[in-house]
Chain A
Amino acid sequence: MIQSQISKAAEATPEPVARRIRGLSDRSIAWIFVAPTIFLLLAVNIYPLLRTIWLSFTNYRVNRPNNDVDWVGLRNYERILSDPDIWNTMQATAHFLFWTILIQVLIGFTLAYLINKKFKGNNLWTTIIVLPMMLSPAVVGNFWTFLYQPQIGLFNYAVGFLTGTDPASFSMIGDVNLAPWAIVIADTWMWTPFVMLICLAGLRSIPESLYEAAECDRASHWRQFWTITVPMVLPFLMLAVLFRGIENFKMFDLVVQLTGGGPGSVTELTSINLKREAFEKWRTGYSSAYAVILFVTVFGLASIYVKALNKVKQR
């Protein structure tokens, strides 16, 4: 059937075209098929990347089209790496990354472990738990600002109820010490279900026979957990960490809605800072250098991490 359709198509192909194709090697035909993709990749990924790298060595400003563009060498890189404000945003990002990933992995794995047990309403609970990650980050940021309101916010009320403190006596997003945790909590609420789902996939991929064999060997549940469950789920967990790490490194919308980078600049993550440099201050050359530094950092760390992930998988 398929063969006859191919024959029909071949017959329908105009002779000059057919002649031209007939003379092509398999390799050439393969190139014809991948060429559009490669062209798109070059146009939307590689060219902008190369252009960004070139711009990072200039003083170009996109809002001053009439100004001369001067080659400034490594000056933009020097300025960025010696700017204490930028190091502060790096520190804020590191704090956000470390704690969100740690907490999300712990809670996500625990939830997955519990959900994996067979109990009534299992599917319903799974659906309820994954709801937050289906919302838009901007919406989540917006409604967490209400939850954190000292006078009417449910979060403050709950903390007040549990600890006996006055809910109006503390402001999660207005206090320098609490604001970094406010964004960690909101992000954790939203993205823990994602980690949970990946862990759940890992848990469900473990063959039951391994546990049966362990039971035969009279291995305790604790022993089974550490020698079967954790090693088998580890590649999945590492994948979740990779995804969350990359996502949170470029976190923008949720935090902008929640704190706007404040109070002061304690929650100004690198992506927010970069956006201000590029699209508010319009320092295009400078922000290109900034973007290159961030790209190299993420790409480098991700590459090392992926290698480690492959090693774990091969074990």
Chain B
Amino acid sequence: MNKKLTYTVASFAMAAAASSAQAEELTLCWAAWDPANALTELSKDFEQQSGHKMSFEFVPWPNFADRMLNELNSGGQLCDLMIGDSQWIGGGAESGHYVKLNEFFEKNGISMDDFIPATVTGYAEWPKGTPNYYALPAFGDVVGWTYRRDWFERPELRAEFREKYGRDLEAPATLEELKDIAQFFQGRTIDGNTVYGASIYTERGSEGITMGATNALYNYGFEYQNPDNPYELEGYVNSPGAVAGLEYYKELYKTGTPPGSSNWYMSENIDAYKSGQVAMQMNFAFIWPGVHADPNVGGERSGYFPNPAGPAGQYAQLGGQGISVVAYSEKQEAALEYIRWFAQPEVQARWWELGGYSALKAVVEDPDFASSQPYAQTFLDSMAIVKDFWAEPAYAELLLAMQARLHTYVVAGSGTAKEALDGVVRDWTETFEYEGKL
């Protein structure tokens, strides 16, 4: 009741403020994907309350970084609000693309303590671990897994699996179990169709294989740097554990994925799963509402599980983004108004209802949250184990180097895992030296 009252009062206050302020046309830039449609729907409330008009510039993922970073680097005024990828935060802050939001947060009673800590670190802070905020966590996302529960529950398959592996065919708890299951389904005929183990990220051009392989690397012992000595890479990036993790990912690719999946990322994995080609799918959590609603594989036919543990622990690759105000915008006041509106608990709750993954604690810690959707608990579990790629201003160089090295080893099959990771160390060292950090 209290919440409703606050919301109503806030809405009236906003409407009153809007009537006195000039109505603006705000452009919000983001990737073209399902959550963007949900945000368009959600933003209608903002338009109604504020009097501002929202327009959107959504760019498909493979071109998103190119298009938007070009826009920011050229000081373009296309976007007033940017939901930029988590790795852009360093560049956005240091190059002055994003407006620093500390003062605004303070003035409007927005506290970063109210958001999931990993999303604050991942999407909002620069430098990491310092209370300097350039974004509001907008969309929590993480790599997790979807599996064909209906196939896993088939008695004949369960019996065969038990006989072969000595355990039940269930959602895997470890990466080794996941590989067993992938190999078990690989090339099997189900309902007259040949199916395969799992679709995993292997894409070469943008960030795919890195976003995929890190889910194995982290869990086998890969570290980006010496935790006690920043930018010390040798022995952390290419540690024996990291080498084992990369070897694992290559084996999974070679023995448990569909033929021809050498350049697959989010959309190819979704297609493979929804068309009944694979038993399991690695993908960011944003796809789960779509999987759940799918007429062929949705509802009870699919289940969800967090990235399984490895010998060194259980981690998952962080996705997701924060929303920032673009420093070149001439409508910064209205853009900040949008962020103030978006940060409200009621709006965040509605965001989750529409299919957006809220990062607000009040939403995800609500007692009803875990049971609100079949994938909600998996989302919570996954968000608790996240790690993210570098968010340095030179992140693109670091990412491209890793893409090339990993793809050359995993997909092209050239060299060894140790050579690939040694190569990553060399490339990253060169970048950090160039950046003056080493």
Hey, which bits of chain A sit against chain B, CB under 8 A? 62-66, 85, 145, 148-151, 153, 168-169, 171, 173-176, 256, 259-266, 276, 279-283
Complex Cα gap A175–B259 (Å): 11
Q: Are A281 and B397 in contact (CB under 8 A)?
A: yes
Which residues of chain B are within 8 angstroms of A153 by Cβ–Cβ distance? 260
Q: Are A64 and B412 in contact (CB under 8 A)?
A: no
Q: Are A63 and B258 in contact (CB under 8 A)?
A: no
Complex Cα gap A201–B84 (Å): 52
Complex Cα gap A66–B94 (Å): 9
- B96, B260, B263, B413: which contacts A176 (Cβ < 8 A)? B413
* Residue B6, interface by CB 8 Å: no
What's the nearest-Cβ distance from chain A to residue B273, in Å? 15
Residue of A nearest to B204 (CB): A262
Q: List 28 A-B contacts (CB under 8 A).
A: A63-B73, A63-B91, A63-B95, A63-B393, A64-B95, A64-B393, A65-B95, A85-B404, A151-B260, A173-B262, A173-B263, A174-B261, A259-B204, A259-B263, A261-B205, A262-B204, A262-B407, A263-B204, A263-B262, A263-B408, A263-B412, A264-B408, A265-B404, A279-B66, A281-B397, A281-B400, A282-B69, A283-B397
Complex Cα gap A122–B69 (Å): 51
Which residues of chain B are within 8 angstroms of A282 by Cβ–Cβ distance? 69, 73, 396
Q: Secondary structure at chain A's binding surface: helix, strand, loop or mixed?
A: loop
Q: Are B259 and A281 in contact (CB under 8 A)?
A: no
Q: Are A174 and B204 in contact (CB under 8 A)?
A: no
Q: Are A264 and B411 in contact (CB under 8 A)?
A: yes
Complex Cα gap A79–B69 (Å): 26
What's the nearest-Cβ distance from chain A to residue B389, in Å? 15
Q: Are A266 and B95 in contact (CB under 8 A)?
A: no
Are A149 and B260 CB-contacts (below 8 A) given A280-B400, A281-B396? yes
Which residues of chain A are within 8 angstroms of B408 by Cβ–Cβ distance? 263-265
Residue of A nearest to B414 (CB): A264
Which residues of chain A are within 8 angstroms of B411 by Cβ–Cβ distance? 174, 262-264
Complex Cα gap A265–B402 (Å): 12
Most buried by B among A150, A175, A280: A280
Complex Cα gap A63–B395 (Å): 12
Complex Cα gap A150–B260 (Å): 6
Q: Are A264 and B404 in contact (CB under 8 A)?
A: yes
What's the nearest-Cβ distance from chain B to residue A63, in Å? 5
Which residues of chain A are within 8 angstroms of B262 by Cβ–Cβ distance? 171, 173-175, 262-263
Which residues of chain B are within 8 angstroms of A149 by Cβ–Cβ distance? 260
Residue of B nearest to A176 (CB): B412
Complex Cα gap A299–B204 (Å): 31
Which residues of chain A are within 8 angstroms of B397 by Cβ–Cβ distance? 281, 283
Residue of A nearest to B277 (CB): A151
Which residues of chain A are within 8 angstroms of B263 by Cβ–Cβ distance? 145, 173-174, 259-260, 262-263
- A171, A276, A279: which contacts B259 (Cβ < 8 A)? A171
